[in-house]
Each structure stands twice: as structure tokens, then as C-alpha cells.
Amino acid sequence: MKLPSNPQTNNLLAALPESEWLRWSPQLELVELKLGQVLYESGSVMYHVFFPTNAIVSLLYVMEDGSSAEIAVVGHEGVVGISIFMGGGSTPSRAVVQSAGWGFKLRSAAIQEEFNRSSAVMHLLLRYTQALITQMAQTAVCNRHHSLDQQLCRWLLLSLDRLTGSDLVMTQELIANMLGVRREGVTESALKLQKTGLISYARGHIKVLDRVGLEKRTCECYDVVKREYDRLLPYKSAD
């Protein structure tokens, strides 16, 4: 796996004004984000924020019985740990690495200081937070009103937007946990997408064969989220 030594592979870090970047760069620490790694648990004290470069992190809401459902995904476009600079300090969600890769972490105290110190940083992070809240809200609507086929297409497209290629390493069991549904439902939906030539699936490896077809098959939720991210945030394709 190529090691992304440049923190500015992350869009938010790349968007920092020069003066802010000079203060931030010595404090950023490269970290490997391993598949299934928990970056923080529900209600726990958060000591760092994470800026993924070529990894994807799922934000999950976990119920008392242990069941969970994904409420948002974060990749090279964003940051994990918004409650630190929003003033909460902790969150009821869990952050788990969905697709392995690399990222950079920054101490909680450092990002709190920068958020309060620089209006440019504050506005950038607030715009990102608004985009993330839109994704969370649209995910809730999608899970309530749209078919599992449409939800799976939305999930695949959101993941693809945060990866460099068209391949995802993800078991049906993990996808079921992300979507908060039974594994059998994911199996049935994945087979439908495979039969129509949109994806190929084998042993935890999903390859998207027809992205345009996926976009036509999914619900409006994917486009709502993508337009909001494009409107609010600087864009830089994953390298």
C-alpha cells in the first residue's frame, strides 16, 4: 500500500491558508488506520482528531444490545472527531476504520486552539460540519424510506468517492452492520447488482463495473449529499 506522506492529500488540510498550515504541519502525526480499528468509542474522551488520506472511517451509532448502523462516512474530504472543536468533547457514536489506509492525527488541544484562534479555520471546519450533518440526516431518511438496493448503491458510491479506484474490500457481514440490516438482505441486493452488471462480488471483494449505472439505480440521497459537500468544501481528488 502506498504511504501518503503528504498531509495535504486530505482536502481540509490542503485548504488551510499558508500561515495556518505552517503552524499545523509540525504537529501532524502520520498514523496507519487498520481495517476494523476503533478510533473512539461512544462517550469516550477524545484525545485526537484524525484526517484520513486514503482510508475511510465509518461513524456508527451503537444500540444497547450491541447492534449498530452507520450514520456517516469520512475519507480524504474530512476529519474524524468534530465534537472536539464543536465543544462536546465526546459523542454517542463510534468511529471504526471501514477501509484500511493512512491518515494524520492532531492533538485535541491543538485543534481547539486553532478553531478559536483563526476565523479561516473556524469557517472551514464549520462548513465541513454542516456537510457531515447533511450526510447524517440524509442517511436517516434513506434508511427509513428507501429500499435496501438503493441504500447499498448509495453506500457504494459514497465509499467510491473516498477511494482512488473502483475496488472495495468489504464482507457482506460488515456491510450489513454498516447499514443496520440482516446479512441475507445484503446478499440478495448484492446479487441483484451483480446480475445487472453493476458490480462483481467475490469473497469480500467488491469491484464496481458500472458507476453510471449505480448512480441511476440509487435514490436521490446520494446526490443530495454530494451536492452539499461540493457546495461547502474545497475539492481535491484522492491521489
Look up residue 73 and give its three cell numbers. 462516512
Judgement on whether residues 82 and 199 belong to the same structural domain of the protein = no
Q: What confidence score (pLDDT) does residue 238 get?
A: 46
Across the chain, what does the average pLDDT equal? Answer: 86
Which of 9-13, 68-72, 97-101, 202-206 tops mean pLDDT?
A: 9-13
Q: Which domain holds residue 196?
A: 147-218
Look up residue 179 and give its three cell numbers. 447499514
CA–CA distance, 201 with 214 (Å, rounded to integer): 15
CA–CA distance, 139 with 151 (Å, rounded to integer): 9
User: Is residue 20 included in any domain, yes or no?
Assistant: yes
Residue 33: count other Cβ atoms within 10 Å of its Cβ.
23
Judgement on whether residues 26 and 114 belong to the same structural domain of the protein = yes
User: Is residue 238 included in any domain, yes or no?
Assistant: no
User: Is residue 224 included in any domain, yes or no?
Assistant: no
Higher pLDDT, 52 or 87: 52
Judgement on whether residues 39 and 90 belong to the same structural domain of the protein = yes
User: Is residue 227 included in any domain, yes or no?
Assistant: no
CA–CA distance, 3 with 12 (Å, rounded to integer): 19
Judgement on whether residues 56 and 113 belong to the same structural domain of the protein = yes
**Model confidence, pTM:** 0.87
Which of 24-38, 62-76, 133-147, 166-180 tops mean pLDDT?
A: 24-38
Least confident of 14-28, 134-148, 159-173, 200-214: 159-173
Helix (H) or strand (E) holding 167: strand 167-169
Look up residue 128 and give its three cell numbers. 465541513
Residue 184's domain is classified under what CATH number? 1.10.10.10
